[in-house]
Amino acid sequence: MTDTAIEVDEFLPHPPAKVWRALTDPVRLARWLMANDFEPVVGHRFTFRTEPVPSQGFDGIIDCSVLEIEPERLLKISWGRVGLDTTVTWRLHPEGTGTRLLLEHAGFAPDDPAQQRVRMILDGGWRSNLWRRLTEELSREQ
């Protein structure tokens, strides 16, 4: 991991098609990540919505747009808010009967203390709670 990106590499014991649905179906995405108005269409602007954290200056809204899509292989979105302009990329690679899912959340300014604080908070979230919730979502879908 660098001070400009978060990188997570996880194996999921589910086929790429199933992982892809969890990443791109707005209902499934809301269950494991956040409420949203996502559509898997390049150029679509959408928001993720979560609990505000006023003490950190966070109103609970993340502005996003779909930058790239390759079904069952790649999803890249912008992820930002006032003072933050980053990207999140999920890469899916078939591996045996499962999927290797690589996440990169990139674009944090290395010399901006506020962005580095956000990067550290998001790093913990991507590595723990959200992966657990994604795994639970994948297990519930038949």
| Average pLDDT of every residue of the chain | 93
Confidence of residue 129 (pLDDT cuts 50, 70, 90): confident
- Alpha carbons 25 and 28: distance in angstroms, whole number: 5
- Alpha carbons 72 and 47: distance in angstroms, whole number: 22
Q: Report the CATH architecture of 5-140.
A: 2-Layer Sandwich (3.30)
As a whole number of Å, the CA-based R_g of the chain is 15
Q: For 17-65, how does the pLDDT look when each residue is reduced to its tens digit (9 = 90+)? A: 999 999 999 999 999 999 999 999 999 999 999 999 888 778 999 999 9
Does the CA dihedral 4-119-122-23 come out positive or negative?
Answer: negative
Helices assigned H by DSSP within 87-127: 113-127
Buried b (16+ CB within 10 A) or exposed e, 78-100: bbebeebebbbbbbbeeeeebbb
**Model-level pTM?**
0.93
Does the CA dihedral 18-21-23-27 come out positive or negative?
Answer: negative
What per-residue confidence (pLDDT) applies to 44?
Answer: 98
Ranges of each domain in the chain: 5-140
Percent of the chain with pLDDT over 90: 79
